[in-house]
């Protein structure tokens, strides 16, 4: 086994572990704050990978090259499962323990995660008003504003339906990308056609099911988030000023790809 790394790159060098492992700075000194920091930092790393995969998948779909996108979307679903399970680890933090360092967080909140916002934008959950949170960080604000005005992953999938000859309303294909996606009758009819003739549209059918996997796990992640927050702080307001559990209850039922859910009733 090689042992001299004075002139070669080691495992720690490659992963820049000196930076990664020195970025957990407890503000309160409380033992359990380390758990809180690592859970959120690890989640942000997984989100970075989700965005990496979603951006590449969107590009493949836009180029009508669906098969490479399937592996990427399947990977996103697996990553989401990691994020869902992370709430089980965080739920080992009791209310009494969290109250020992909660004030040290100030106004910082997971609500401010710009990567989570980018994921929402990528999936079609566009909200212009959230950009104000990032005005103090011009580069992030610009990045989010750009993502706000780009077609979402689902917009690319809808365009793929049109490229295969399925009829989609022309104004829906040229809609304002900065607006939150809303269900459309022509899109639902097109997906119904796909599900009713799977052999002819197998690739579109597989794309649809990969999207449903992602949407379903995103909903599970929000539900587990809500339950964990209620378990730790009850119905207190969030540190960032949100309504806490009440806000999470409002978004837990949100679905990004509405036609892929509603068509199941009509099949």
d(CA 21, CA 219): 31
Whole-Å CA distances, 122 to 58, 104, 108: 9, 32, 24
Query: Is 235 within 8 Å of 245 (Cβ atoms)?
Result: yes
CA–CA distance, 151 with 177 (Å, rounded to integer): 5
* Residue list, annotated binding site for heme: 225
Which residues sit in the known binding site? 36-40, 98, 102, 225, 239
Which amino acids are annotated as binding site for substrate, given as ranges? 36-40, 98, 102, 239
Q: Which residues of 122-133 are buried (b: 16+ CB within 10 A; e: fewer)?
A: bbbbbeeebbeb
What are the angstrom distances between the C-alpha of 162 and each of 141, 168, 170, 199, 263? 33, 6, 9, 18, 18
Dihedral angle of Cα 86, 157, 126, 114, to the nearest 10 degrees: 40
Largest CA distance in the chain: 66
Start-end of H helices in 135-201:
138-148, 153-163, 170-173, 185-196
């Amino acid at each position: 086994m090689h042992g001299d790394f004075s002139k070669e790159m080691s495992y720690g060098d490659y992963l820049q572990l000196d930076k990664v492992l020195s970025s957990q700075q407890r503000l309160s000194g409380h033992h359990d704050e380390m758990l809180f920091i690592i859970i959120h930092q690890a989640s942000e790393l997984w989100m970075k990978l989700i965005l990496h995969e979603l951006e590449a998948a969107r590009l493949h779909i836009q180029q009508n090259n669906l098969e490479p996108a399937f592996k990427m979307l399947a990977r996103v679903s697996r990553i989401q499962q990691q994020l869902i399970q992370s709430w089980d680890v965080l739920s080992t933090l009791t209310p009494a323990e969290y109250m020992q360092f909660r004030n040290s967080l100030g106004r910082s909140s997971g609500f401010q995660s710009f990567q989570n916002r980018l994921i929402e934008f990528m999936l079609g959950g566009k909200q212009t008003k959230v950009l104000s949170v990032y005005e103090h960080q011009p580069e992030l604000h610009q990045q989010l504003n750009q993502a706000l005005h780009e077609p979402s992953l689902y917009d690319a999938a809808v365009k793929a339906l049109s490229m295969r000859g399925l009829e989609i309303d022309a104004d829906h294909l040229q809609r304002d990308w900065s607006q939150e996606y809303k269900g459309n009758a022509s899109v639902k009819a097109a997906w119904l056609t796909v599900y009713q003739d799977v052999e002819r549209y197998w690739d579109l059918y597989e794309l649809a099911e990969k999207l449903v996997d992602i949407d379903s796990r995103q909903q599970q992640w929000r539900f587990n988030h809500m339950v964990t927050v209620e378990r730790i702080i009850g119905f207190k307001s969030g540190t960032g000023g949100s309504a806490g559990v009440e806000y999470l209850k409002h978004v837990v039922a949100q679905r990004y790809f509405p036609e892929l859910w509603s068509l199941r009733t009509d099949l």
